[in-house]
Amino acid sequence: MIRRVAAIALLGIRAPLRSRLVLGLLALLAVILAGIRGDGTAQGEMRMLLTWTLGVAAGVLGAATLWAGCAAVASDIEAGRHAPTAVSPARPFEIWLGRWLGLVVVNGALLLVAVAAAFAQLKIKGISSEVTSVSRRLELDAATLRTEAERLFAHAQSQGAVPAGASKDDVIASIEKDLLTAHFPVEPGQSRQWVFALRPDDDALAMTVKFKFLSSFGASSGCEGECAVLDPAGDVMSVRRINEDDKGEVVFDVPAGSVKGPALKVVFTNTAAADGMAVLVQHGDSMTVTVPDGGVVRNMLKCWIALLAVLSLLAAIGVACGAMFSFPVAAFTASALVLIAIVGRSDLVEEGVEAGHSHDGAAREETAFDHALDAFSRSMSSAVATALMPMSEVEALDRLGDGIAISPRAALKSALYTGLLLPLGFGVLAALALRRREL
């Protein structure tokens, strides 16, 4: 089996080389690298080089991969070059696997060239290692968040605000999500705290605290308050005063070795007068704490793994559609699947369902068809979002451009699930379809 799959994969690698597709893509990647410019700052230059350059490169490779995948089997069948599996030593799944692996190898090589070229550009433009340094974002303590959600659930239950028959776990999970995404006002004299979990060696590292807020005059205005960093015992390790000159954001450092223990607490207190203005904060995004986590090379390699996983899935979709349909139909079907995935990951379906419940501002009576369409749309959106969650959780390009460490666990999870398990599922469908087309 291995020899047969390797032979088919080698044919898949030779095909784009013979058609000069690889040379064309390399030339296009070179144009992309040369054409994208930053905002004049070293940080902006790095972000454009990494996030936008690699993002555009991955997009170009993704479109080419989908197209080449659809043509890999469909064109052979239409041109009469495909040997029926009944007389061929290769099984249907082996044909799909070989074609898919060939595209994965080509994509991996081209994407690696793009990553290496982006890194070379960083060096050529003299961007310092201080700018390209990578920090790891500390995670909010899950136990503290869960405790707060359970407290709010108990309060809502005592007020009779919990719907009858609602699952406790589902309601608490919804509250946890709201706690992370909703904005909360901090009135004068009030405080809000964030608890971050520390790894065993984190307390020996220097930490950087960033606090983002919205005052009554928007993000471009300051406020009166203070941020205090406390250890688990409640002792204050560092304090940063906030005044009107701090426009929506403050950043300050905590010296290495200042915090001891398994957790770190950061408290913001609104010190404005009683008739002063409130400050809006978001629990999941307003307060971040980072620690040093190496250089940019390791982060770029993790980004390469995450992007290659996405390209592997696109290759699997393309080859599977090519095994099921003729080339034009395969290209249309594969493109439709990708569009469904994009829409399913966004809030467009949810917003469309809500907007469809009214017309010209007036409510209308819903029919059985409306309810069925509502349920189908929501279930489709939920299913697609769940299936692609490992890919979404990596946030590879955003983290790479921001100098935030990409989680090795998230990258590996995406590689195994998005880049291997989902493609194998398409491979099974392709094998069944290929066998049926030959009957």
- Residue for token pair 């906030």: 242
Among 160, 139, 119, smallest CA distance to 290 is for: 139
Better-scored residue on pLDDT, 74 or 221: 74
Rounded to whole angstroms, the Cα distance separating 307 from 61 reads 10
Tokens representing residue 60 in the block:
């170009």
Rounded to whole angstroms, the Cα distance separating 93 from 4 reads 11
Q: Domain 137-292's class?
A: mainly beta
Rounded to whole angstroms, the Cα distance separating 169 from 177 reads 12
- Residue for token pair 């979404």: 392
Whether the CB-CB separation of 23 and 64 falls below 8 Å is answered with: no
Evaluated on CA atoms 164, 170, 176, 180, the torsion sign reads negative
Angle (CA) 231-233-238 rounded to 5° is 35
Rounded to whole angstroms, the Cα distance separating 78 from 72 reads 11
What pLDDT score does 351 carry? 45
Element (H, E) at 123: helix 92-124
Concatenating the DSSP letter of every residue in 270-285 gives: E-S-TTS--EEEETTT
Q: What CA–CA distances, in Å, run from 338 to 90, 137, 376, 407?
A: 29, 31, 18, 25
Whether the CB-CB separation of 231 and 202 falls below 8 Å is answered with: no
Percentage of the chain exceeding pLDDT 90: 23
| Residue 193, beta-bridge partner list | 267
Whether the CB-CB separation of 222 and 243 falls below 8 Å is answered with: yes
Average pLDDT on 323-330 reads: 87
**Range of 109-118, 302-311, 351-360, 371-380 with top mean pLDDT:** 302-311
Residue 209 has pLDDT above 90, yes or no: yes
What pLDDT score does 350 carry? 46
What pLDDT score does 348 carry? 45
- Residue for token pair 């299936």: 387
Whether the CB-CB separation of 294 and 218 falls below 8 Å is answered with: no
Outline which parts of the chain fall under CATH 2.60.120.380. Answer: 137-292
Residue 342 has pLDDT above 50, yes or no: yes
Dump pLDDT digits (tens) for 84-99.
544 456 688 888 898 9
Q: What CA–CA distances, in Å, run from 103 to 95, 312, 397?
A: 13, 8, 22
Residue 338 has pLDDT above 50, yes or no: yes
Average pLDDT, the chain: 81
Evaluated on CA atoms 346, 347, 349, 352, the torsion sign reads negative
Residue 67: count other Cβ atoms within 10 Å of its Cβ. Answer: 19
Residue 34: count other Cβ atoms within 10 Å of its Cβ. Answer: 11
Element (H, E) at 186: strand 183-186
| 202: Cβ contacts below 8 Å, ≥ 6 apart | 138, 291
Rounded to whole angstroms, the Cα distance separating 254 from 236 reads 11
Residue 267 has pLDDT above 90, yes or no: yes
Residue 181 has pLDDT above 70, yes or no: yes
Rounded to whole angstroms, the Cα distance separating 311 from 185 reads 43
